[in-house]
Chain A
C-alpha cells in the first residue's frame, strides 16, 4: 500500500526549509505490542483444561470479516524531528453465498509528527489530517518512529472501530474481527462479534497452565477465561487450536477467541469453536501466518492492499 504522490509533498516541505527524507519504517506490519504475561481469571474451570470442541461445523448464517491495514512513509525532517505520512484503511467483507463482498470500507491519509515539526511544515501539509506526537522529550528520530507507529496503530484501530460500527448499523450478521475485542466497549458487548487474535505477545497464564495452554491439541479449546481488563472493555476468551502444532511450533494454528461475556459459556464456546474450525479452509497461503489467519480476514487485507494500488 504505497502512499501516492509524496514527491510533490517532499518538494513543498523542502521549500519550507525542512530536510526531505524517504524511507519506509521497518515495522510495517500490525500493532506493536510488548511481550508479557497478564494473568487471566478462569471462568469455566478451576484449573486450565483442554476440551475437544467436536467436529467442524459450517457457519450456519452469513458471516462478515473486519480488518484494517496501515502504511507509513518518512517524508522529511524538521531539524531532528521526522515527519511521516501514513495511510490507513479498514473494510468489512461479508460472505454472501460462498463469495466475499466488500460491504463497508474507509480509508484515510494522515501526517504524523511533533506539533512543532507540523508548524514548520506550514501549509505544505494542508488538507491532510494530522496526528501529533508528544513533545515532552526532545526529538529523537528512532524514538519518534516508535511513537509514530503507536499513534498509527491507534488510528488504524479507531478506523476499524468506525467501519465496524457503520457495518453494524446496517447488519446484525456475525462479524469476525481481526484481533482483540477489548479495544471497544461496543464490541465487547456485541453478541454477534468475535475477535480472533493470532498475536500471542500477551499470554494469559504462566507455569503449568501456560504449558497446557501452549500445548493445546488440534480441535480443542482451553477453558474459558477473562483477560484482565487492561483496556476498555471486559471480554471472555479461550484459545483454540486450528492446526496440529506438533512437529511445527507451539503457536502453530493457535488463536485466541474473544467474545462478549454473554457468549462466554461452555456450550457457546464449543459451538463457535466448531464453526471457526470450519473456517480453516480455504487456507490463506501464501501469507506466512496462514495457520492462524482466517481466509476471510486475509481476503479483507488483500482487498485493502489491492485498492491501495499494489498487493503488498
Chain B
C-alpha cells in the first residue's frame, strides 16, 4: 500500500515515525503529553483531508462534526448513563450523520467553493449556539464525565503511555483507512470530482453521491476526533468543541503538510504543534501567539508550498519516472 514518490518523502515520513517512537524513550513526560495533543488534533486534520484534500471541498466548519461527535458521546454518557464504548461509537456515527446532512443540503443546491466554506462555518456556529442554549447539552456550563478510570469507561487518563499508544493506534487506523480509500474506486472518483466535476459526471460518476459520501466519511473521522477529545479531557463545552479554533486547526495541518496525501495531515499537524510549542517556550507561554504563527505559516505555505511539505519532499530525490503525490 505504501509507496513513496521520492527519497525526500520517505525521509520525511521516516522522521515522523522516528519522532513518534522516540517519544516513548524521552525522559520528560512533557513530550508525551504534548504529542498526545498533537495526535488528537491530527485526527480532525485527517478528517478535513478527506473532503478538503482529496475532494477539493475546503470546509471552514469541521468543528460541526467534531463537536457533534463529542456532544453525542457526552450526552449519552452523562444524561442517559450509556456505556462509554457505545457512546464512543455513537459519537462517530453522529459525526458521520452530521457530515452527510450538511453535505446533502449543501451539494443538493450546488453550493461549492467559498460558499461551501461559509456554509460549513455557519452550521458549526448554529450548533455552537444551540449547544450553549439547551439543558440537555449542559447549556453554558458544558458537560463533565465522572472521573472513573478503567477499560469499561474508556478512561485511561492515569496511564499516559497507554493513552499515547491508543492514540497512535487510532491515528494509524485512520491513516490506513485513508490510504485504502485513496487507492480505491471511491478515492479515484473523489479526486476526479475535485479536478473536474463535469468531466467526472460525463464518465458516469454520480458526483453528488461521491461528495455526500465523502462528507459522511470525513464526518465519521471528525466525530471520532471529538469523541477522543471527550475521553481525554472528560469535559467539553460548546465554545471549545464547536469553536473556530477546531475548524482552523483542522484545515491548517493538512494544507501545510500536504492536502490530499495520506501522511500530510499528520506531518503538518505535528510540525505545527512542535513549532507552536517551541514558540510558546521561547515567548514564555503567551496565549494565542501559536495561532499567529500557524497563520503566518499558512500564508507562506499557500504562496510557496502549494502541495505542502509532502509536495516539497516529493521533489527531493525523485524515484523512477513516476511523478505525482503518492503516499
Q: Do A and B bind each other?
A: no
Binding site for A on B (CB under 8 A): none
